[in-house]
Structure 1
Amino acid sequence: MLRLLTLLLLLPVSALAQDIPLTCDIEIEFNSTGSGIDASVYQKIMDRVIATPAITEKYVTNIGREGERTLCLKVEEGQLGEVYDDLKSQIPAESHHTWTYIKSRDGREFKTKEAEGLVRYRWQTE
């Protein structure tokens, strides 16, 4: 284990970091309010991303310790609206778990509303 850690520390930063564009055509934030992201929404979005040929590049940035992450997508010219609408349709209007946020380069955005009775921590349901 120590040998592996030493090798990783010796690698140049560019070998460890992914080249992430400064701007995304579509950006989706998967948030956690103390109990992890909504994994079912994340899976639905990723299934759509993989199945959509108009998405030319995708980058995932892990943010927190509970699975929070941001998905950055590059989309073929002229396909932004269609891809945005398709991905947005996978995000529920409200959630009892946590919120998901999507925005596009052309200014459209949507955020899941926190439903009444939102469970912020898993231990609250036990």
Structure 2
Amino acid sequence: AYKVAKNARLTLVTDMLQKGISRLKQYEKPLLHSDQGWQYRNCHYQKLLANNGIKQSMSRKGNCLDNAVAENFFGLLKSEMYHGQFFQDADELIEKIEEYIEYYNTKRIKAKLKGLTPVEYRNQALQAA
């Protein structure tokens, strides 16, 4: 799950973290990759992680390898839907971002998925099982 907002507030990330935590099985203790944004260094956020046995991985400044998947996604989003575009306001930008996320997750063909969309790849895997 994700949420797009007009401004960065601590509740934006803590609400999503709590939603993710609620979906974990008791024995699951994931590793969470984040950048060095102020919200990820906030004591309330880090206490939520610690209280739920979640280890945080935060690369040093200028080293985005831990967060490569997210960095790659945002690079694609910027090049495929943002650069060279004009948006009337923040609401239109948020709408276009949400449309892109839907496209990326359901319709965008990926070489890593053997030229299939994510939905086609998942369905193919389910049929083979």
**TM-score, length basis structure 2:** 0.24
Say which structure is richer in strand.
1
**TM-score, length basis structure 1:** 0.24
